[in-house]
Amino acid sequence: MAFDIDNHSLLAIFLASLVLIGGAGEAGHWLGVRAARQGAAAVSTLEGAILGLLALLIGFTFSMALSRFEARRDGAVSEAAAIGTTALRARLLPAPHDRESVTLLREYVQIRLDLARGPIGRAEFDRAIARSNLLQEALWRQAQAVAAKDNAMVPTGLFIQSLNEMIDDQEKRLSAMTNRLPLVVIVALYAMCVMGIGFAGYGSGVESKRTRVPVHITGILVATMVLLIQDIDRPGSGYITVSQQPLVNAAAAIDAFPAGRP
């Protein structure tokens, strides 16, 4: 679709949600007042059913977003561990492959770190992935060169194993970063919010003893929960982000290798 919700800030989305949901409550209240004048009966049963369905949908969507957040967090930890292990085993390779491999890994971990530190454009993201793939290919050529000299070397086998794991972990992490809530789920969530708060406002209008204050409070809480779901679902931006400390630690450990020999 042409519309991309990620192009808008979370604050703007929250304010728009308040207007949309609050407007639904006001519209429902106005319709309820008109219906009460015509002798319409209360719809408390239907109102409770719709609000219950809304709560169920919010819980289901929050669970989906949280599982994706945890996948991104686990992906960062796994990739950092794989890079750190590959760097340690690269130091066991014979010269000059040890130094060249560690130099490549220094650039690689920095690219992976920059990729997740903040929101970037699609073009920049593609360039970073392309550069990561080139570095992986360069590291693989280092492994091939060492294996050609002596394919029975234990350090070479260990290095190749960890390098394979590092490449696999990149794919897993990229998959976790791009695995987002479907737009249709977000649209359905907003539609149910509007309908639920609208019926709550309608009920307050039909029953003259009820005030609109609980409806507005409920609308604010619902809009806040929808904002939280979208915040958790956004990788690299928003108020809730995946900690990149494992990658920071891996980069610091590689930078701390002795200058004379990696």
Task: Measure Cα distances from 115 to 27, 47, 78, 170, 173 in Å.
Answer: 45, 46, 16, 12, 11
Residue 186, Cβ density class (10 Å: 0-12 exposed, 13-18 middle, ≥19 buried): middle
- Please answer whether residues 86 and 163 qualify as being in contact, where contact means their C-beta atoms are separated by less than 8 angstroms: yes
Q: Tell me, what's the pLDDT at 8?
A: 77
Q: What kind and span of H or E run contains 160?
A: helix 154-178
pLDDT above 60 for 259: no
Residues of the chain above pLDDT 90, percent? 42
- Please answer whether residues 22 and 219 qualify as being in contact, where contact means their C-beta atoms are separated by less than 8 angstroms: yes
Band (pLDDT 50/70/90 cuts) for residue 153 is low
Q: Tell me, what's the pLDDT at 3?
A: 56
Band (pLDDT 50/70/90 cuts) for residue 188 is very high
Q: What kind and span of H or E run contains 122?
A: helix 122-149
Phi/psi at 91 (5° precision)? -70, -15
Look at phi and psi of residue 202 and say left if phi exceeds 0, alpha if psi is from -120 to 50, else beta. alpha
29-33, 162-166, 192-196, 248-252: which range is least confident on average?
A: 29-33
Q: Which two tokens stand for residue 75?
A: 């992906």
Band (pLDDT 50/70/90 cuts) for residue 77 is very high
Q: Tell me, what's the pLDDT at 2?
A: 47
Q: Tell me, what's the pLDDT at 20?
A: 94
Amino acid at 162: S
Mean pLDDT of 232-249: 84
What would the pLDDT profile of 111-127 be if each residue is shown by its tens digit?
A: 888 877 666 677 888 88
Band (pLDDT 50/70/90 cuts) for residue 223 is very high
What would the pLDDT profile of 53-71 be if each residue is shown by its tens digit?
A: 999 999 999 999 999 999 9
Three-state DSSP state, 100: helix
DSSP state string for 5-60: GGGS-HHHHHHHHHHHHHHHHHHHHHHHHHHHHTTPPP-HHHHHHHHHHHHHHHHH
Task: Measure Cα distances from 228 to 32, 163, 224 in Å.
Answer: 31, 37, 6
pTM exceeding 0.75: yes
Q: Tell me, what's the pLDDT at 1?
A: 41
Residues of the chain above pLDDT 70, percent? 91
Neighbours of 80 (CB within 10 A): 24
